[in-house]
A and B are shown apart, each in its own frame.
Chain A
């Protein structure tokens, strides 16, 4: 009897603990959401108000001042395009690394990852110049290519790990059954690893969606995504917390909803090897 009681207490503590951790992690998003419905005055007040008269005035002003849909569309095209392009390159690359390794495969993989250690700003000037010479400043194509390239190492690594978890026998069985390399890939490998591929794609989508450095430096108006819109609210006229929160909320809402909807797939993908 006491043992059961003890277990119940432990369970309660774990639940409360989990909620506290979850709230801490979620707090910035929550605070952003709350601030976006405050007046600028409420937003600045110290100590902060948890209870206030909500207003939609920030959203109205933002939508009046900027064409939200234009930026959102740019974000969808660049992040989506980069994800598709990245997957098209990463899946065959990971396939080659995983199933036809050479003595130097590990080195190549490490080298790919090492490019992620280079600070973006270090290559800003050359890439800016390349884009300028190719007449690709302020173009969505440039962003798509750059987003795909900067996420490629992570994508290849992730997919490589998922592929390594798939028994090679299955692919050999497909070969014996008469499948070509393409058929093996599309009818066996990709369906079998779809959880991992989906979570890789989603991660690339999120990273590209929230990418700001290249968006800010390489776009001005026609190709500017949502991150550029957010940035435009933080500078010249001083800080407007409420409006900044509102525009940030608008910027991350679509990806948040997408992440929420695909969370089962995402979690399964990220724990693929562990629960096989």
Chain B
């Protein structure tokens, strides 16, 4: 059992509040991802859990044990650092067994644990090399291996893939997913990359300015964001937002056009309407009905799909997903069908007041 609970955790550095009260439960064997922009407090929270920083207020519980003030090495946690943080003067074998040797474990037990970890990570050929003789991906595997040999109660990952190139990052991401299934361990993973978060997480905690904005399953967060921040942070390209006034289910846009939002008849007043690029379509007919027109400013062709960025006067820039073989060029006039069936509506404070 390794269930981690955080209660009203607070931390400030030199008078600046960095963590402003965090409550969170990471269940046993759960893969929980802390996702947020840089400076949002996700890494600090991880370091507080690890004990590398001291909490000002609040509690950290590991299976009902209060570990808030416990020394780093007594918490039984292992961390994988962004920079790998391998010991440069030690071989891979020595790196991975350092903690066990410090704990004065007997050689046979060390060899056994080391053998298991090297097998899982396919590190056998590199055991006698120094980190400087390894590639970035291999170094990261050693860093993960160093955590595995410890058999910790919770694994902590601090942006472990940020220093890898794109192809390696995708491969290592899959490896971490496989590892989680194989080890069946509780893992907390910090990242600013939403693809990592969406693909790896059982649950994602979205951090912003020292608070958790929303905690939930990836698709839950994607479909029912509680506020504008979460809605805008998840999804590539970003969700489209435009200011509007609603009255009885009819939305009046900045350029004077009126469109309806199904099922939002009770709303009134100034709002922000949000809709994802995949829920919009370029007009294929004559452009009558609920549409807006603008100038096609940029076209991004990704092969399987194309993103069209359209400047709509008095509304703003709107991104639309189109087919892979979308042929129109930048600079041309274009019209967008504004079907708001899938629109989210946020009030002036940014809180969601309507979901599709």
Residues of chain A touching chain B, judged by Cβ–Cβ distance below 8 Å, are 167, 169-170, 172-179, 183, 187-188, 191-192, 194
Contact = CB atoms under 8 A, between A and B. Distances in A.
Interface in B87-106: 87-89, 98-99, 102-103
A177 B85 contact: no
Contact of A192 (B73, B89, B146): B89
A229 B186 CA distance: 71
B85 A169 contact: yes
B88 A177 contact: no
For the complex of A and B, the 3 pairs showing the least CB-CB separation, nearest first, are: A169-B85, A177-B99, A178-B73
B52 interface: yes
A192 B50 CA distance: 24
A187 B84 CA distance: 18
Contacts of A176: 50, 52, 72-73, 77-79, 99
Contacts of A187: 98
B102 A179 contact: yes
Interface string B50-80: 1010000000000000000000110001110
A188 B87 CA distance: 7
Contact of B85 (A172, A178, A179, A183): A172
A176 B75 CA distance: 9
28 contacts: A167-B85, A169-B81, A169-B82, A169-B83, A169-B84, A170-B86, A170-B88, A172-B81, A172-B85, A173-B79, A173-B81, A174-B87, A175-B73, A176-B50, A176-B52, A176-B73, A176-B77, A176-B99, A177-B73, A177-B99, A177-B146, A177-B150, A179-B73, A183-B102, A188-B89, A191-B89, A192-B87, A192-B89
Interface of B: 50, 52, 72-73, 77-79, 81-89, 98-99, 102-103, 146, 150
A128 B19 CA distance: 57
Given A174-B87, A177-B98, A192-B89, 8 more contacts: A169-B81, A173-B86, A175-B72, A177-B73, A177-B99, A177-B102, A178-B103, A191-B89
Contacts of B52: 172, 175-176
Nearest to A169: B85
Contacts of B86: 170, 173
Contacts of B77: 176
Most chain B beta-carbon neighbours within 10 Å: one of A169, A187, A194: A169
Contacts of A191: 89
B102 A173 contact: no
A173 B98 CA distance: 10
Contacts of B78: 176
A178 B88 contact: no
Nearest to B158: A169
Contacts of B98: 174, 177, 179, 187
B50 A178 contact: no
A175 B87 CA distance: 12
Nearest to A193: B89
A167 B88 CA distance: 11
Nearest to B99: A177
A187 B102 CA distance: 10
Nearest to B88: A192
Contacts of B79: 172-173, 176
A178 B102 contact: yes
A192 B94 CA distance: 14
Contacts of B89: 188, 191-192, 194
B81 A178 contact: no
A183 B81 CA distance: 20
